[in-house]
Structure 1
Amino acid sequence: MEQLNQRGTALGNISGSIEEVTSYDDTGNPSVMFFAQYLSIPYAEPPIRFRRPEPKTPSPGYSSAFAADVLCTVGDVVVVVINFRQGMLGFFSLGSEAASGNYGLFDQQMALQWIAKYIHSFGGDPKKVTLVGNSFGASNAIYHTLYPGNGGLIHRVVALSGTALLPSGGKSYVRNSIETGVLEEIGCQRASDADIMSCLRGKSLTDILNALDKKSFTFAPSVDGTFLRSDPEVMITDLAKDDNSTEELEFLNVDLMLGLNNMEGGAHVALLWAERLNTTYNEFNVSRADIRNIVVPIAIKRTFGSNISQAITQTVNFQYNDVTGTDDPQRLRQRVVDLFTDIDVAAPLVRTGNVHALLGQGSTYLYQFSEPLNLTQAPVWLSGANRADDVHFLFGFSERGLQFVNHVTGFTPTVEQRVLSTRLIKMIAKFARTGNPNPLSAAGDPQWPEYDATSTTYLDISAAHVTPKHHFREPFMTFWTSVVSELLTATSQNATSPLVCPKEIGHTIKVNLVSAENITIALSIVSFCLLCACVLLVCLSVAREPTLYSNNKYAVMKTPNLSETPSISGPSDS
């Protein structure tokens, strides 16, 4: 490690270090590269609980050493990973001025302001900012394109395994009221909103977290009239209308890349269905009757609410159940995985991509990742890429990064997986620089065509092939975007039950951000920090100006990260 000179900004001097990492080229040959990392850079003052963040005042800063990732070196980009308030501290809302909510989104937005002002000091280009999010983090990335205050701050978005929409007619992710029992559990049920907030601010963080641990509570963004002026479903679908109120939204101006894994629904086998169906997730012996009587009805209720026509449930069962075959365990397992891949991820991504491709000024791309990672937490029968597998490949397989996985799984990537990681990084890095991932890195690779709503073109990515294809996950996508939508209209059923986001426990690493009460930004990468669907981290990737910080000794990358708060000191097992 070699210490860097301090970088001067209006907020004070910031020091970092030169680190080395072993990366792999397109043929699997290793090489040692160097990058610069800066950690623990505050972008806002420590927040007052349940209030929006305040800008950071000038003060000196110093970054301690922390493991960096191959993403910044192979991709030749500046990578910014931000820390922000999560869970109740980030999204509690009473729907009033006393607690308007969305504090976590405002934390992220202040980090975007920090990038616009100071990233040039670290070799970044504030006119080439790409916002990257995984799962719930991807929905946050889309929310940022709907906030007028982000005009000019975001230029591209990479939304992986998530968006702000659900299948047509599904209940929104946003909440306009708190869940029943939250205040009672904490002991802050009061007559007025002001008294409630006074009570909550008087509780210790330990008391709040202990109370929340007793039951499963979910906190999500809300329509606050400022950051989210209305439901994102309404805001995005209304973009097709001649409405001047939508002109300032960045959603149609940014370049958009959407991505998912071909077995996203495999996570639900371990997280939701194994115990409910009285089996184990490695065996997962599910029958056609189980799918018809348990799986499909619950899936429909989660997505559309309880007041839904039985005809829709029966139609979904007909589409996904093996109504003519035998109880083939592998075939039926796959049907369950397909159902949740489509209903939770694929169909919402297609709806988002359709609007953007039809109306947007920016480019639109879609990929499906099909390379299995074979971590021990995945069901042994799962043959494709599970949730967040592509994120592992995107963050690369540096020795430092692997230590966060190896101690849990003993996983070691193959040469072919390292090569695929390099290719994926280069694709997304090119997109971050230009809005176009082409040309693809390997010799003989085809062009990645832009997505369009008619042919639904996408790129299928695995170690064996990188292939453009058409008609993404058909006929299932037409079923969700057209058939179900028309059935909902025909039956005139309005779902009223709230959406339930199950606590996802099946992933290898979880960064516990729920108790973060300080706000920091640092210049580096934390490997595998975007793995949990309900514990999100939004990664802000900023394309580097190629003329800056290039010399004969180092391939120097600059990166912002997250540290300083106790909750970020290290990953914990899910």
Structure 2
Amino acid sequence: MKIYLVVPLLAIISIFVVSATPRVTIKNGTLEGSVLQSRKGRDFLAFRGIPYARPPIGELRFQAPEPATSWTGVRSAKTDGSVCVQRNYDNPNLRSTGSEDCLFINVYTPQLPRRNKRHASNNYAVMVWSHGGGVDGSSHSLLYGPKFLLDHDIVLVTMNYRLGPLGLLSTADSVIPGNAGLKDHVQALRWVQENIGAFGGDPAKVTIFGESFGASNVHLLTLSPLARGLFHQVISQSGTAINQWPYHTAKSARENAHRLARELNCSTDTSQDLLQCLRTKDAGDVMMQPSDWPIFNGGPDLPFRAVIEFSNPGAFLTDEPGKLMERGEFADVAWLNGVNANEGALAAGALYASPNQTNVRRLNNEFTELAPLANGLDRDCSTSLLDDITRRMRQFYFGDRQIDDSTRMNVVDMISDSVFKFASATAVKLHRQSAKSPVYFYQFAYRGTLSYSAFSDPSRDYGVSHADELLYLFPVHEVLFPTGAMSQRDLQMIDVMTTLWTNFARFGKPVPCVSSILPAQWKSVKTDALEMFSIESPTSMKMVKDVFKDMINLWSSFRCRAGLSRTANLV
């Protein structure tokens, strides 16, 4: 008789736990969240739109973030906060979208701590996501939702940060030191340290991870004295601090700040004049950079980037990233870093999708003039040196062949190597030289049913594009490819990628033991052969080495490289 009473009682308790509105109290007040479900049907708790800093408006525009203020009562955390101000690509009638009041964080957890009189259990490893984009993007749950990763025992944190000039404008002095968007990351990590225990997360086991611009963000955090001790592991997907886009000189930062000010009819007589005027301008107007400034995600000419700050206790970046890495002045933490097989697919696709392939013919006929621009070579180099470099580049990638449709993948390889792979490989070498902690290197080589390359040219197969791995970590396809369906192999790849990434967060190793999902061991890099884990399909993955040897030899001989040319001996 007692057995029959226990079963329905347990069912009632289970229903109550699932359907009850979850509440959690943090330093700033009490939050009310919601119950969501993972891809495989697991219930988890979501707390969205949590302020981690004061709104960066008025006197706080362009400045370092300040901690969020407290609230009274119960704050609803059932929906995302506003995205940060950015260009509006979806509605041609609106120049910009979003709000300056955007410094919000989302937290997803399997369950809240089970508290008793003695202790609270805070056992889950924490993964903090930095989205890509640079001048656009957000961590909104519609795009970077939790339902893939929350099939695993981790706490996921996603954050917004200030973008473009609102996040990275600098006058290269004490008036607007710069790096505000990167300091947003630091403040978010401080928030995690103070509050994540209330969600069941372990503040001593925090992994920061990001893709593209977000990958360079998290790698820059390893170089920043402000972020020391706030995280314990890093995952960089297709981006590092020494790629072409993350950093520029104080001179360049000042010039771009002045140029933007002039566009908005602001005085540049002094930095204070510039600041006071720009603070009066609509945030959307500040974000609308001059039309002839490139806005391609991660392009070599991205006008607002990280900058070395003048010496002060609040400086985020104190020297060039390459030099800091050379000297070993970075957080000695385990690092998982890698690239996709055909990173240049997006850019090459746009090239080949031009009407009548006009731009392809131009690249073929004007290679000496256009190749340095397309591949991020330093314009300060002498003409004779650039001519020699472009000659060797053309021979390496094309030999005596024309640049046309038959050499499409050669163009992809050239852009992949110059913009992504060389910097990634170089960063791994530099990390290994100084760090005691392991570095794990990968190449994602699985082309699934869907690919980001469709956004530039849906008519051709360009291989495994930049950002394609995101399809297997987050449900981005639901928004970006609403009519596209994933195959069974794609669904298997979700299991593979989320297991690798969460294993690293939980255990410090992406493959702590071989299993049916992960049939091969992933070893850390031990030599300059750059031992690398090649992820080729849901059932095929293996260790390889010296894959990038010839490419590294070529690009390391080019000293006219933006972002790398000012570093003495990178390889």
TM-score, normalization: structure 1? 0.74
Shift of 1:13: 0.7
1:162 aligns with 2:239: yes
Residue in 1 that maps onto 2:297: none
User: Percent sequence identity over matched residues?
Assistant: 25
Residue in 2 that maps onto 1:529: none
Matching residue within 465, 476, 479 for 1:404? 479
Residue in 1 that maps onto 2:410: 335
Residue in 2 that maps onto 1:235: 324
1:58 aligns with 2:137: no
Aligned pair in 2 of structure 1 residues 285, 311: CA closer, same or farther (>3 Å)? closer
In 1: Cα distance, 2:271 partner to 2:237 partner: 37
Matching residue within 422, 425, 430 for 1:350? 425
Residue in 2 that maps onto 1:117: 194
Residue in 2 that maps onto 1:386: 465
Q: Is the contact between residue 288 and residue 332 of structure 1 (CA under 8 Å) also seen in structure 2?
A: no
Query: Number of residue pairs matched?
Result: 456
Residue in 2 that maps onto 1:430: 503
Shift of 1:104: 0.5
Residue in 1 that maps onto 2:346: 267
Could you tell which deviates more after superposition, 431-440 or 119-128? 431-440
Matching residue within 360, 379, 398 for 1:305? 379
1:137 aligns with 2:222: no
1:257 aligns with 2:336: yes
Letter in 1 for 2:241: A
Q: Is the contact between residue 346 and residue 455 of structure 2 (CA under 8 Å) also seen in structure 1?
A: no
Matched position secondary structure for 1:468: strand
Aligned pair in 2 of structure 1 residues 21, 218: CA closer, same or farther (>3 Å)? same
Aligned pair in 2 of structure 1 residues 294, 320: CA closer, same or farther (>3 Å)? farther
Q: Is the contact between residue 166 and residue 286 of structure 2 (CA under 8 Å) also seen in structure 1?
A: no
| Deviation digits for residues 246-290 of structure 1 (CA, Å, limit 9, x no counterpart) | 3xx31xx11101121111011112345754x9517xxx8659844
Shift of 1:52: 1.2
Residue in 2 that maps onto 1:35: 44
Shift of 1:152: 1.3
Q: Is the contact between residue 287 and residue 329 of structure 1 (CA under 8 Å) also seen in structure 2?
A: no
Q: Write out aligned runs for 1:124-523 (5 A).
A: 124-166=201-243, 173-176=247-250, 177=253, 178-179=255-256, 181-210=259-288, 212=290, 215-216=293-294, 218-225=303-310, 226-239=315-328, 246=329, 249-250=330-331, 253-271=332-350, 274-275=353-354, 279=357, 289-290=364-365, 292-293=367-368, 295-300=370-375, 302-308=376-382, 309=385, 310-323=387-400, 326-327=401-402, 329-373=404-448, 374-375=450-451, 376-377=454-455, 379=457, 380-395=459-474, 397=475, 401-407=476-482, 410-438=483-511, 439-442=513-516, 445-463=519-537, 465-481=540-556, 483-485=557-559
Matched position secondary structure for 1:100: coil
Shift of 1:452: 3.0
Aligned pair in 2 of structure 1 residues 291, 391: CA closer, same or farther (>3 Å)? farther
| Deviation digits for residues 64-92 of structure 1 (CA, Å, limit 9, x no counterpart) | 24654323322321111111111111111
In 1: Cα distance, 2:167 partner to 2:360 partner: 39
In 1: Cα distance, 2:175 partner to 2:481 partner: 46
Letter in 1 for 2:526: D
In 2: Cα distance, 1:494 partner to 1:384 partner: 30
Matching residue within 79, 84, 91 for 2:161? 84
Matched position secondary structure for 1:222: coil
Letter in 1 for 2:45: A
Shift of 1:193: 1.2
Structure 2 runs not aligned, ≥5 long: 1-17, 81-140, 295-301, 567-571
In 1: Cα distance, 2:48 partner to 2:246 partner: 36
Matched position secondary structure for 1:304: coil
Q: Is the contact between residue 165 and residue 286 of structure 2 (CA under 8 Å) also seen in structure 1?
A: no
| Deviation digits for residues 155-187 of structure 1 (CA, Å, limit 9, x no counterpart) | 111011110114xxx797234123263111111
Shift of 1:17: 1.1
Structure 1 runs not aligned, ≥5 long: 24-31, 240-245, 496-574
Shift of 1:296: 2.6
In 1: Cα distance, 2:228 partner to 2:44 partner: 31
Shift of 1:211: 5.9
Calculate the aligned-residue CA RMSD, in Å. 2.8
Shift of 1:477: 2.1
Greater relative contact order structure (CA < 8 Å, 6+ sep) = 1
| Deviation digits for residues 490-542 of structure 1 (CA, Å, limit 9, x no counterpart) | xxx978xxxxxxxxxxxxxxxxxxxxxxxxxxxxxxxxxxxxxxxxxxxxxxx
| Deviation digits for residues 313-367 of structure 1 (CA, Å, limit 9, x no counterpart) | 22122211232xx548454111111011011111101111111123212111111
Aligned pair in 2 of structure 1 residues 402, 317: CA closer, same or farther (>3 Å)? closer
